[in-house]
Each structure stands twice: as structure tokens, then as C-alpha cells.
């Protein structure tokens, strides 16, 4: 049975459970795949870390109201966060590690520091 090696694109023959032409290609493929995933996760981690540091800088006292634009100016990305938290009265916060954001309206957000709720 002829197949194409996903790493070097060469044709090879072998047992049907053999997915690469050689051990070298198998490990090269997996190493590259792992490296790509690592790069991807690092880029997300960097966004989260930057977001968290922006919030911490704007929230030195544990609770503050700031203009949404101030976050955007500093490069805050609203679509990235680590977890949601809904308070007893139904208010939804988006947390990035230890700081949470509540969007009040079009212009203002409230930043709060984490209380002891983490599941
Ligand atoms: Zn190969």
C-alpha cells in the first residue's frame, strides 16, 4: 500500500498503521507540531498577561471605574479573559486572572480585584 509521508511528502509503503516514512520524519513532524502549538499558546498567554497588567495598573485600590477608551488605548483586548464570574445579583464580570472587568455602558467599565470565589 502506497502512502504519502505527511512530513517529507515522499511516497512510502508499509503497514497500514505506519503513518510516516521513517522515525526521523515522525519525530520531525511531532516536534514541529508541538512548536507551532507552543507559539500559539505563548501568543495567547502574552495577551492575557498584558491584559492583566493593564487592569492591575488601572486598579491599584481593588476597585475603580475607568473609561473604556483608557483600556483600549493601552492595548487591552476585551475578547480575551481567563474566566467569567456572575455575582449573586446577576452581574457578569470577565476576569483575567485576579482582576475582573464589568462593562457598565458604552463608555465606562468597573475593574474589581478578585475576592475568594475561584472554583
Ligand atoms: Zn518522510
pLDDT of 67 strictly over 90: yes
Question: 5 C-alpha vs ligand 1 centroid, how far in Å?
Answer: 5
Spatial distance between the Cα atoms of 5 and 24, rounded to a whole number of angstroms: 11
The pLDDT value recorded for residue 103 is: 92
In a domain, 119, yes or no: no
Range of the domain at 59: 2-113
Question: 48 C-alpha vs ligand 1 centroid, how far in Å?
Answer: 38
Contacts with 110 (C-beta within 8 Å, 6 or more apart), sequence order: 63, 64, 65, 101, 102, 104
Spatial distance between the Cα atoms of 19 and 13, rounded to a whole number of angstroms: 10
The pLDDT value recorded for residue 49 is: 98
Buried b / exposed e across 58-87, counting CB within 10 Å, b at 16+? bbeeeeeebebeebeeeebeeeebeeebee
Contacts with 42 (C-beta within 8 Å, 6 or more apart), sequence order: none
In a domain, 49, yes or no: yes
Question: 39 C-alpha vs ligand 1 centroid, how far in Å?
Answer: 24
Condensed to tens digits (0 to 9), the pLDDT of residues 70-118 reads 999 999 999 999 999 998 999 999 999 999 999 988 899 999 998 765 5
The pLDDT value recorded for residue 68 is: 96
Question: 115 C-alpha vs ligand 1 centroid, how far in Å?
Answer: 53
Condensed to tens digits (0 to 9), the pLDDT of residues 9-20 reads 999 998 888 899
Compute CA distances 119 → 83, 92, 116, whole Å. 10, 16, 9
pLDDT of 28 strictly over 60: yes
In a domain, 36, yes or no: yes
Number of separate domains in the chain: 1
pLDDT of 119 strictly over 70: no
Question: 36 C-alpha vs ligand 1 centroid, how far in Å?
Answer: 19
pLDDT of 7 strictly over 60: yes
In a domain, 118, yes or no: no
Amino acid at each position: 500500500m502506497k502512502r504519502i509521508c505527511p512530513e517529507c511528502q515522499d511516497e512510502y509503503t508499509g503497514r497500514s498503521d505506519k503513518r510516516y516514512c521513517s522515525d526521523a520524519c515522525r519525530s520531525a513532524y511531532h516536534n514541529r507540531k508541538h512548536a507551532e502549538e507552543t507559539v500559539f499558546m505563548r501568543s495567547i498567554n502574552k495577551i492575557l498577561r498584558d491584559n492583566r497588567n493593564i487592569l492591575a495598573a488601572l486598579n491599584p485600590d481593588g476597585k475603580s471605574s475607568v473609561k473604556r477608551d483608557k483600556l483600549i488605548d493601552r492595548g487591552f483586548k476585551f475578547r480575551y479573559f481567563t474566566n467569567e464570574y456572575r455575582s449573586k445579583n446577576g452581574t457578569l464580570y470577565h476576569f483575567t486572572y485576579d482582576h475582573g472587568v464589568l462593562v457598565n455602558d458604552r463608555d465606562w467599565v468597573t475593574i474589581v480585584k478578585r475576592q475568594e470565589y475561584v472554583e
